[in-house]
Structure 1
Amino acid sequence: MFLHRIHLDPRCREARRDLSDPYQLHSTLCRVFSAPDNRCPEGEFLWRLEPETDPAGSPRILVQSKAMPNWAGVGVQGWLANADSAIDLKERLKLESLKVGQRFRFRLRANPCVTYDGKRLGLLQTDEQEAWLERKGKQHGFSLPQLAPFDFSEAPQKRIDVRISQEQMLRGKQHTGNGIRIYSVLYDGILIVTESDNFRTALENGIGHGKVMGLGLLSVIPIA
């Protein structure tokens, strides 16, 4: 499992198109991991558009993949401004020896939602978004530390210590012309491993819906 940090050149027309349409960006990345005219293997990679840019202002994208990419497969000159050396996550995170109680800083762009009457509805309230992440943590082998209460005069309201930002509706257009809309938020915080196998699976496969729109990638940094 490899992690790649790349920057796109906003002067490139195709790069600007991809940055404005997550579905198209996913399609472009598929060409990096599959031969021409071949279907990209399902679950081959996860990706996320980051809030940060490089010093030149080029947008940053994290890509996590099972195989090494062939960036020339994009087929567009100037699309890629630069790419950092790949990181072997199995080695860097010591995935084979994960232990209960380990702490990591994490980032996750995800689609907090509930299914009602066969439709997925985005959760817009902060407490709902936090509760969604707590449920996903229990499902995927991690917990989140509680936020210390500020007011001790009343029964404290339990809140997890997580920062939620960049709430937005992502829009894309499929090759058939059908539109895609999916609500997303960016989570940043600290997590604690509670089940090693489930946590490892979450790192490998992502969390939640909308992976084709750049959601679901759980990226972590160990805390000493």
Structure 2
Amino acid sequence: MYLSKIVICGAACRNPYEIHRALWKLFPEDAEANRDFLFRVGQADRDCAEILMQSVREPEISSPAAQILACREYPLSLNVGQRLRFMLVANPVKMINDEGGRKNSEGEPKKCRVPLVREEDQRSWIERKLQNAASLENLVINPVFPLRFRKSREDRVGKIQPVSFQGVLSVKEPDALSELVRTGIGPAKAFGCGLLSLGRG
């Protein structure tokens, strides 16, 4: 895997959906490729946004909209009992039946996602996500500014309410934790959620 520092300027930096599209363009064209990167928006203003991106492939193609400032390999080596600092900006949600009574294609009640807003529910959510991989020793939860986005092709607007989880964890299952790092945690990964960053304390 690779960790990269990217800066995106212009109108794209104010729309998470456009940030995602700009990051795609950093990789060589591959019609068969699925999205194989995660990202988190760091410092941002109206003109530019600094992005931390984790990717399976090495980004190669800078553009005027997205500049690669730095890139390094990210070897992940974990051991049972290892204590690590972590940071995660995620979109904790639960599934409920659609209030309008709509049905899916199989005739079952359609499900929709609703954000978890109470801190105790958010804490339970992250504990469930990590339960097979790590145990939490310390956890601080903070709200993040809502992410508002527009999908121009569908002329659709939306809002995501991310939450920042930070603290210290202890590794229980290295392979399971490595998989969470590679694939991310929770929904809205295309909008800058789900990247689990680990560091030595």
Q: Quick check: TM above 0.5?
A: yes
Alignment check: 8 A CA contact 1:34 1:41 kept: no
17 and 58 in structure 1: CA distance in 2 versus 1, 3 angstrom threshold: closer
Aligned to 1:124: 117
Deviation at 1:167, TM superposition (A): 4.6
Deviation at 1:135, TM superposition (A): 0.8
Q: Are 1:63 and 2:63 an aligned pair?
A: no
Identity across the alignment (%): 30
From the two aligned structures, give the one with the greater strand fraction: 2
Distance 2:57 2:22 in 1: 16
Distance 2:68 2:52 in 1: 12
66 and 115 in structure 1: CA distance in 2 versus 1, 3 angstrom threshold: same
Q: For the aligned residues, what is the CA RMSD?
A: 2.1
Distance 2:147 2:48 in 1: 22
Give the TM-score of the pair, scaled to structure 1.
0.75
135 and 200 in structure 1: CA distance in 2 versus 1, 3 angstrom threshold: same
Deviation at 1:120, TM superposition (A): 0.4
Q: Specify the code of the residue in structure 1 equivalent to 2:51.
A: I
Q: Specify the code of the residue in structure 2 equivalent to 1:164.
A: N
165 and 6 in structure 1: CA distance in 2 versus 1, 3 angstrom threshold: same
From the two aligned structures, give the one with the greater helix fraction: 1
Tell me the secondary structure at the aligned position of residue 43 of structure 1: coil
Distance 2:41 2:140 in 1: 20
Q: Are 1:198 and 2:176 an aligned pair?
A: yes
Alignment check: 8 A CA contact 2:23 2:66 kept: no
Report how many aligned residue pairs link the two structures. 186
Task: Note the alpha carbon deviations across 1:158-190, whole angstroms, 9 max, x for none.
Answer: xxx323231524333252223333221122211
Deviation at 1:63, TM superposition (A): 0.6
Distance 1:40 1:214 in 2: 22
Aligned to 1:11: none
Q: Which runs of 5+ in 1 are unaligned?
A: 9-14, 147-160
Aligned to 1:178: 156
Q: Specify the code of the residue in structure 2 equivalent to 1:47.
A: F
Q: Are 1:88 and 2:81 an aligned pair?
A: no
Q: Are 1:44 and 2:36 an aligned pair?
A: yes
Distance 2:14 2:93 in 1: 23
Distance 1:214 1:162 in 2: 20
Counterpart selection for 1:217 from 192, 195, 201: 195
Counterpart selection for 2:87 from 90, 99, 107: 107
Distance 2:12 2:31 in 1: 19
Q: Specify the code of the residue in structure 2 equivalent to 1:41.
A: A
109 and 40 in structure 1: CA distance in 2 versus 1, 3 angstrom threshold: farther
Give the TM-score of the pair, scaled to structure 2.
0.83
Q: Specify the code of the residue in structure 2 equivalent to 1:2.
A: Y
Q: Specify the code of the residue in structure 1 equivalent to 2:27.
A: F
Tell me the secondary structure at the aligned position of residue 144 of structure 1: strand
Aligned to 1:152: none
Q: Are 1:166 and 2:144 an aligned pair?
A: yes
Distance 1:69 1:19 in 2: 18
Distance 1:189 1:66 in 2: 26
Q: Which runs of 5+ in 2 are unaligned?
A: 98-110
